[in-house]
A and B are shown apart, each in its own frame.
Chain A
Amino acid sequence: MYKTIRPCHSRTSYWVLWVVTCCVLLFTISYTTPAQAEEYHLGLDSMRHNDVPKGTVTRGIWRSQKIFPGTERDYWIYVPAQYQDSIPACLMIFQDGSSYVREDGDVRAPTVFDNLIHQGAMPVTIGVFLNPGVIPGSAPGKQPRKNRSFEYDTLSDQYARFLIEEVLVKLNKMYTLSDSPDHRAICGASSGGICAWTVAWERPDQFQKVVSHVGSFTNIRGGHVYPALIRKTERKPLRVFLQDGKNDLDNLHGSWPLANQQMAAALSFMKYDYRFVFGNGGHNYIHGGAIFPDTLRWLWRDVRTPSK
């Protein structure tokens, strides 16, 4: 699908080639994202404002030693301008971190955090954006093992333990974080969304706030059983935000719209503290990103950073 742009000497042919490439890509994207490109827009809380203090974002590569040995992954840490070592901060972890952290992406989490923290609409929160792991090939020409589905779709506590026994251990040495599980949130999209749910489901003693965008509660690796499990398991102290759309995927793994509706129905039946937003979107971040500020307001509505 993606065409390499060859350097052209002629400026006109260069631009024509670029326009053609973009048309091809936009057609491909529009095939999977009908209508909602016009319907859902980023609002002011997702834009930069000069009078809002800006947090810092640092980047690194995480090499897992213990839980996913052999994997490498990019990560970003966002620290709000208002963070102080003397006051424990809240924490929010994102799967597919590169998509959530991007300044010009569909979600722009650091910008939204800056705006909402400045408004006092959410507590001082450190954001940790983790990409899925990859096990590099052992030599040039050997394919890497992409770990995203294994890490995100598997129904087990392994990814939760990665966060708790590796990531949190390091974060706690760098920052002062609250150790209360209702001060910890986890967010993801697609397989990253079901991953967020799985982490909280497996370890509600550590994470109690979940945001899922177009979550893959389908049979990629057996995740379709969650609505059934929720209905027959004693309620866990979780707060859950689900976003999906009627044009989301319907394929060999399942129907995303139906699966998300099943999740919402199960959470409702068991009287969970949840919210389900079901629009017209497809399998992307557009709708979830457009409403992200309100999602965070709802998620953190009763949590405030204590004053000194």
Chain B
Amino acid sequence: MRTLIGVTVLLFAQQVFAQDMPLTQVLIEKEPWQLVGEGFRFVESPASDKEGNIYFSDVPDSKIYKITPQGSLSLFARETGETTGLMFGKDGKLYGCRHKERSIVAYNLDATFQVVADNVTAHDLVVTSDGGIYFSDPSHKRIGYLSPQRSVAVVAKNLHPNGITLWHDGGTLVVTERDHPYLWTFRVEKDGRLSYREKYYLPLTLTSGSHLPGSDGMTMDRDGRLYVTSTAGLQMFDPTGRQGGVIVKPQQKHLSDIAFGGPQFNMMYVTCSDKVYRRKVKPQGIPFYGFSRDLSTNSK
């Protein structure tokens, strides 16, 4: 029995080279970008709640908006201290960096908020399934970690971070780097420390005259693909760090960030300067880490 399994495995093992993940696995023909919001000053940080509603920030206007899957737009919060880095936690709160006030906060659904970390400079954040928060601090060239118990520590230095995200199992952290073309990847240790940094992803610099790709916000899908916004468009990578393609930007302006939304989390929402777009795609994302709804059925 074992011999037969072994022989069968050997037959298969001849094909040792990893599967490619081209854009045809992601894009749907005749499903282009759809405009869902416009007239903003500079939008960033889309974040999905468990229903697939998307919240995003108009940073210089200090406002947070909500857009439903049906496309209805409403104002969620004003005087947001130029909040960036929005993301829902498993607890249902919307976390963000009120960087004018040097704080990280948790917004309730009535737009009131609690400060969860004071005296921190943070640009983007990602909330882990146990309520910890990794945040990028570009002004001090470091990454901070706010533990579930709300102690703050510096977990990485000597980098100029911008966007930040996690692999879906929470075991690997990815950070964009403002001064270099690559994205940093770290292993997340059990106590929240980061280890074994590597320049694992290398987005393309396609715009002539540039020497940097202009990487900004990121997200991941359930198949382990990473999506990073850049000057060239939305760049997609497979789980081994190989580039799978560039999805063209909806308009020729700065593409800042991305999140999966919609009831099936198969709508890519991107913030692009003064407009917000969405696009239906084949893969699905998750709204927050620790999200457990079975997306393979249509149950709510």
Interface residues in chain A, defined as those with a beta carbon under 8 Å from any beta carbon in chain B: 1-2, 5, 7, 14, 18, 21-22, 25-26, 28-29, 32, 68-71, 96, 99, 104, 106, 135, 137-139, 141-143, 145-150, 153-154, 190-191, 219-222, 251-253, 283-285
Contact = CB atoms under 8 A, between A and B. Distances in A.
A221 B243 contact: yes
Contact of B171 (A1, A5, A139): A139
B248 to A, nearest CB: 15
Contacts of A104: 10
Contact of B22 (A142, A148, A252): A252
A146 B239 contact: yes
B200 A145 contact: yes
Provide the main secondary structure of the chain A interface.
Answer: loop
Nearest to A2: B12
B4 A138 contact: no
Contacts of A14: 1
B190 interface: yes
A221 B11 contact: no
B180 interface: no
A5 B196 contact: no
A137 B190 CA distance: 10
B292 to A, nearest CB: 14
B114 interface: no
Given A70-B195, A143-B172, A252 B245 contact: yes
Contacts of B167: 143
A71 B200 CA distance: 13
Most chain A beta-carbon neighbours within 10 Å: one of B12, B23, B244: B12
Given A5-B5, A5-B8, A145 B14 contact: no
Given A143-B171, A150-B199, 16 more contacts: A5-B5, A22-B8, A25-B12, A29-B11, A68-B198, A70-B187, A106-B14, A135-B198, A138-B188, A139-B171, A142-B170, A147-B198, A190-B17, A221-B243, A284-B15, A285-B14
B244 A252 contact: yes
Interface of B: 1, 4-5, 8-12, 14-18, 20, 22-23, 167, 169-172, 185, 187-190, 195-196, 198-200, 202, 224, 239-245
A130 to B, nearest CB: 14
B242 A143 contact: no
Contacts of A25: 8, 11-12
B23 A252 contact: yes
Contacts of A68: 198
A284 B12 CA distance: 12
Contacts of B224: 143
A142 B244 contact: no
A183 B300 CA distance: 65
**When A and B form their complex, which 7 residue pairs have the shortest distance between CB atoms, in order from nearest?**
A142-B171, A70-B196, A252-B22, A149-B240, A137-B171, A149-B242, A138-B189
A14 B167 CA distance: 40
B169 A142 contact: yes
Given A5-B8, A29-B15, A251 B240 contact: no
Nearest to B201: A150
Contacts of A22: 8, 11
Contacts of A7: 1
Contacts of A71: 196
B8 A145 contact: no
B146 to A, nearest CB: 19
Nearest to B167: A143
Given A25-B11, A135-B187, A284-B14, A5 B20 contact: no
Given A96-B16, A145-B185, A146-B239, A18 B8 contact: yes
A193 to B, nearest CB: 11
Contacts of A142: 169-172, 188
A44 B136 CA distance: 60
B17 A145 contact: no
A282 B176 CA distance: 37
B244 A143 contact: no
B23 A150 contact: no
12 contacts: A22-B8, A106-B14, A143-B171, A143-B172, A145-B172, A145-B196, A150-B241, A220-B243, A251-B20, A252-B23, A252-B245, A284-B15
Contacts of B10: 104
A101 to B, nearest CB: 13
Nearest to A132: B240
A145 B11 contact: no
Given A7-B1, A252-B20, A221 B242 contact: yes
Contacts of A221: 202, 242-243
Contacts of A139: 171, 190
Contacts of B188: 138, 142
A221 B4 CA distance: 38
A108 B171 CA distance: 37
A104 B22 CA distance: 33
A143 B58 CA distance: 35
Nearest to A71: B196
A149 B198 contact: no
Contacts of A137: 169, 171, 187
A104 B299 CA distance: 50
B15 A99 contact: no
Given A22-B8, A22-B11, A139-B190, A149 B171 contact: no
B11 A138 contact: no
